[in-house]
Structure 1
Amino acid sequence: MTLGEKCFAVRLEQKLDDDYLIWYDVPIGKKQLHPDFIVLHPLRGLLVLEVKDWKIDTILNATRANWTIADRHTNAPKQVKNPLEQARRYVLHAVQILERDAELVRAIARDYGKCIVPYGYGVVFPNITRSQLEKSGIEQVIESNLVICQDEMLEGIDQEEFRQRLRNMFPYQFDTPLSQQQINRIRWNIFPNLDDHLNDMIDSLPSDSSIPEKIFLNSSIDKILRKYAYIDLEVDLKEEIHRIGSASLILEQDFKVIESAQTSLESLREQGLHICGHNFRRFDYKYLITRFPTLDPWEIR
């Protein structure tokens, strides 16, 4: 994770409420596309965001299709896709996946087969101010309302102002919010391989590996469960956590799972997986926590 991505992740955590679901760098569908952030809200819809840590002088030339930037290692010019076009491609791919599900498309004649989920996309520049962007002329090839700049994601930014910038990235909005069942179907359709990805991580680890770091839960466990867990499984997981007592997350490479402290991956296989039980394979919030181990409400000790 880049510094800019981490900074933006913290801002999402601080400024958005529990109705929002957030994923970072999770592969979409069979093509395994990797947008930086996916944000889902029951009423607003699906938002894909690309974060670029570039400074204004990193961008040498910009067109609607491609940009030329200075390579951060060699400073040599290299061509990349317009980041806004990249985000658009990601969200359209996600919508195409959702439209294969009969439960997520409209049945009325005029809009028959169209996705019921509003969607939008945008770009985040953590190291470029709005003034710099305007003076550079880049806004001629990238819509200003689809960009969040450095001075628009500061810690002291007004919460409603930050949310409004995200809302401005949606070209339209429906009046009826998504149901929990529809949200679950969206998650399953977009991330069908997430369970296999996590299980492969487990299988690739030595059985006698020790746990290098402990990340402890604080009192905000209810908030985490509301935000990242399926509603019908919250109680089950909370009961298991309280039963364990001093619960923690196991950190091994990019893999974490809820388990008691002072254990090994051998005992994790024998005891840990049944602690998560049926919850383990169905929680995608742990992938976000994996990427953002220092985000509130988690505390590294």
Structure 2
Amino acid sequence: MAQTVPATIKRTATAGERVMFHTLKDYLPDDYIVYYEPEIHGRRPDFVIIGPDLGLVVLEVKDWTIGTIVQATKDEWVIFGKNQQQAFEKNPYKKAEEFTFHIMNHLKQDSNLINAEGKKKHHLKFPCGYGAVFSRLHTEDMTKHSLYNVISPQFCFARNEIAPDHEDFSEEILIEKIVNMFKVNFRLREPLSQNDINAIRGNLLPEVRISADYREPVPHQDQILLSMHNLKTMDIHQENYAKNIGDKNRLIRGVAGSGKTLILATRAALLARENPDWNILILCYNISLARYLQQLIDIKVEEINQEGHQDSLFDEEEPDEPTGKIEVFNFHALLKQKLKISEDQLESLTLSLESNNQLIEKYDAVLIDEGQDFEPEWLKLISNLLNPSTQSLLLVEDRAQDIYKRKRSYIQDIGLNFQGRSKILSINYRNTQQIVRFAWEFYQRNSMLEDKVVEQGFEGDIIAPKTTPRKGPEPFIYKVNNFKEEMQKVSQIIKKLHEKENVPYDEMVILYRVKRLSSKDYIGTIQHTLKQQDIPHYWISQDPESKRNYVKNDNQVKISTIESSKGLDFQAVFIVNVDNMPFFLQEDENREAALLYIAMTRAHKYLSLSYSGESKFTEYLDEIKDELRIEKRDSV
């Protein structure tokens, strides 16, 4: 996943710009940077892409249709503009060319970016290319109407080449075309260094940095804290709390693995049972886990219905009592499927709801999982979907897992005060004592939020986990020479756990921070190694479709980004390539520490961290390895 600046595309962007933004973000290597509409010394190209093995590429996006285009030449196009008036537009390819030359002129002023000798003396040390994107024209349209005569296929994208949901789309072709968008065949002998890339960024956009203000929205951030097979082993006080949580608005704050989501699911099932005429909404932020959460709700509804009929076992003819309707959505699916709006229409719908000018059926109860990841604007909309006569809103959160740093005041955002209506869950039930201690010590040592950690608290505090009842092996830390060896070691342990410890394949997951860099294909190595070892596997975070189709119990080892794993838990977790953390393009180290903490706390019993390089986090792990070695020696 490439780094994007800004992190999210603005609401006024065209449909084509939105498609291109998400495609570049999702499919370019992780060490690529994509700027959308950067202001570069008075000019605003649509996209500027910077890659270590690429150089720089500028793209101009047009949402024109065949019906829009009157005439096209290599220099100028005639189109139907507003009110069907003909307008003259520069050839988009030429426009991208102008932007590129403008950028090159400014970069040449930095001697660090210029070749000091050789045939390319006084030229930039990296190539600059450019191209056009036609987001509403297919390659058939381009061919049929001779548009490739005025723009070579090498230098432009058609709709079917940028839209992942199109059958012709190919990640390989996308990257190949971008890599070849250069008039002069100038390939880098060595990748650009991080200093080179920082110099390019600093010269083009001195006011823009990927820093602590950078917030990456990931459309799959909900947490199901307990896997399906473990539901009935939970502590009874959590079930009791769900049943006696009280009415109106409530807030549950808890550590990872404390059962927040189980309480939410049980609460939803109870509300449906007690209020058959209610419409109940459950919201999360994770595409793949919305479906999983639906399965969890179904189980809890069935359990509660069975419990309700225990006293009437002899009345076999008695029909089941009706239950309220429960709908489960991730937030963006709610907008698209239920409210029939796009995110840029969110503000206007909220204003309309606030003034009672919009006839939308209200929900009698709303339950939100992972509330710390919701934007204030989202919460404001949700509060306006809530029946004011019930005010039944349950919000659960864990701010130690806040990787987006949403700034909010619940009173201001949703008009509800949770003071005196909140519950703190500080006991971790998922992980072993060894994993909890290991993960929490890492988080405290490497997070800048340690001054906000408290035993009990309300807004703004991180809750420290208390003792967990289960014990297990210490986390396994190892360093090897390269990533190939790392994956060979991981596959050996997976085989051993499966064959010797009877751990099902679908109870194991491999978590990665970086999918691929311009010089390394990590995901390719992961898949190739597992295939060689005949280990069945499923890549959860390959694309939105793979997230939607995720099934836990399918006898396959899972592969996932850390972000996508935030709603999952497994008996065994393998965090690979830790030397890519903190990721060098992400300057917010606190976010990186939170990510690794999240990854560690996915594990029920077995936790493995491996690396072949060095980083701030691996230096910490090296220290821990030495401490564990000394402890083991002294105990002998």
- Which of the five TM-score ranges fits, normalised by the shorter chain? 0.5 to 0.7
Q: In 1, distance between residues paired with 2:69 and 2:158?
A: 15
Aligned-pair CA distance for 1:213: 2.1
Q: In 1, distance between residues paired with 2:376 and 2:16?
A: 26
1:95 equivalent to 2:104? Answer yes
1:114 equivalent to 2:123? Answer yes
Contact 1:226 1:234 (C-alpha < 8 Å) held by counterparts: no
Contact 2:581 2:592 (C-alpha < 8 Å) held by counterparts: no
Q: In 2, distance between residues paired with 1:91 and 1:228?
A: 23
State the identity %. 29
1:161 equivalent to 2:176? Answer no
Q: What is the aligned partner in structure 1 of residue 32 from structure 2?
A: 20
Aligned-pair CA distance for 1:148: 0.5
Alignment of 1:209-248 (within 5 A): 212-213=376-377, 217=403, 220=563, 226=583, 228-229=585-586, 233-235=587-589, 238=592
SS across alignment from 2:78: strand
Residues 60 and 14 (structure 1), Cα distance of their counterparts in 2 relative to 1, 3 Å cut = same
Q: What is the aligned partner in structure 2 of residue 287 from structure 1?
A: none
Between the two proteins, the alignment pairs up a number of residues equal to 222
Q: What is the aligned partner in structure 2 of residue 45 from structure 1?
A: 55
Aligned-pair CA distance for 1:92: 1.1
Residues 92 and 224 (structure 1), Cα distance of their counterparts in 2 relative to 1, 3 Å cut = farther
Q: What is the aligned partner in structure 2 of residue 58 from structure 1?
A: 68
Aligned-pair CA distance for 1:227: 7.6
Per-residue Cα deviation, 1:129-168 (whole angstroms, up to 9, x for no partner):
1111111122222122101001112215221121112112
Aligned-pair CA distance for 1:17: 1.8
SS across alignment from 1:43: coil
Aligned-pair CA distance for 1:224: 11
Alignment of 1:171-250 (within 5 A): 171=183, 172-194=186-208, 212-213=376-377, 217=403, 220=563, 226=583, 228-229=585-586, 233-235=587-589, 238=592
Q: What is the aligned partner in structure 2 of residue 206 from structure 1?
A: none
Contact 2:31 2:585 (C-alpha < 8 Å) held by counterparts: no
1:69 equivalent to 2:79? Answer yes
Residues 220 and 131 (structure 1), Cα distance of their counterparts in 2 relative to 1, 3 Å cut = same
Match of 1:44, as an amino acid? L
Contact 1:43 1:174 (C-alpha < 8 Å) held by counterparts: yes
Per-residue Cα deviation, 1:98-152 (whole angstroms, up to 9, x for no partner):
1110100001143221101211000111100111111112222212210100111
Q: What is the aligned partner in structure 2 of residue 170 from structure 1?
A: 182
TM-score, normalised to structure 2, is: 0.33
SS across alignment from 2:189: coil
Q: In 2, distance between residues paired with 1:127 and 1:11?
A: 15
Greater length-normalized contact order (CA 8 Å, ≥ 6 residues apart)? 1
SS across alignment from 1:164: helix
Alignment of 1:236-275 (within 5 A): 238=592
Per-residue Cα deviation, 1:214-269 (whole angstroms, up to 9, x for no partner):
6974753999974853xxx3435545x68xx9xxxxxxxxxxxxxxxxxxxxxxxx
Match of 2:96, as an amino acid? A
Q: In 2, distance between residues paired with 1:151 and 1:158?
A: 9
1:82 equivalent to 2:82? Answer no
Q: In 2, distance between residues paired with 1:150 and 1:224?
A: 35
SS across alignment from 2:100: helix
SS across alignment from 2:133: strand
Q: What is the aligned partner in structure 1 of residue 157 from structure 2?
A: 148
Contact 1:56 1:132 (C-alpha < 8 Å) held by counterparts: yes
Q: What is the aligned partner in structure 2 of residue 35 from structure 1?
A: 45
Contact 1:126 1:149 (C-alpha < 8 Å) held by counterparts: yes
Match of 1:190, as an amino acid? L
Q: Structure 2: where are the runs of 5+ without partners?
A: 1-12, 214-374, 380-401, 405-561, 565-577, 599-636
TM-score, normalised to structure 1, is: 0.67
Q: In 2, distance between residues paired with 1:224 and 1:214?
A: 30
SS across alignment from 2:83: coil
Contact 2:403 2:591 (C-alpha < 8 Å) held by counterparts: no
Higher radius of gyration, 1 or 2: 2
Bigger mean CA offset, 54-63 vs 217-226:
217-226
Q: In 1, distance between residues paired with 2:581 and 2:99?
A: 27
Contact 1:124 1:149 (C-alpha < 8 Å) held by counterparts: yes
User: Which of 19, 26, 32 is equivalent to 1:7?
Assistant: 19
Compute the RMSD of aligned alpha carbons: 2.8
Contact 1:27 1:34 (C-alpha < 8 Å) held by counterparts: yes
Per-residue Cα deviation, 1:10-69 (whole angstroms, up to 9, x for no partner):
11122112021101001112xx21010111110111000011011112111112221111
Match of 1:169, as an amino acid? M
Match of 1:213, as an amino acid? E
Aligned-pair CA distance for 1:193: 4.2
Match of 2:589, as an amino acid? V
Q: Structure 1: where are the runs of 5+ without partners?
A: 200-210, 246-301
Contact 1:22 1:38 (C-alpha < 8 Å) held by counterparts: yes
Match of 2:116, as an amino acid? A
SS across alignment from 1:189: helix
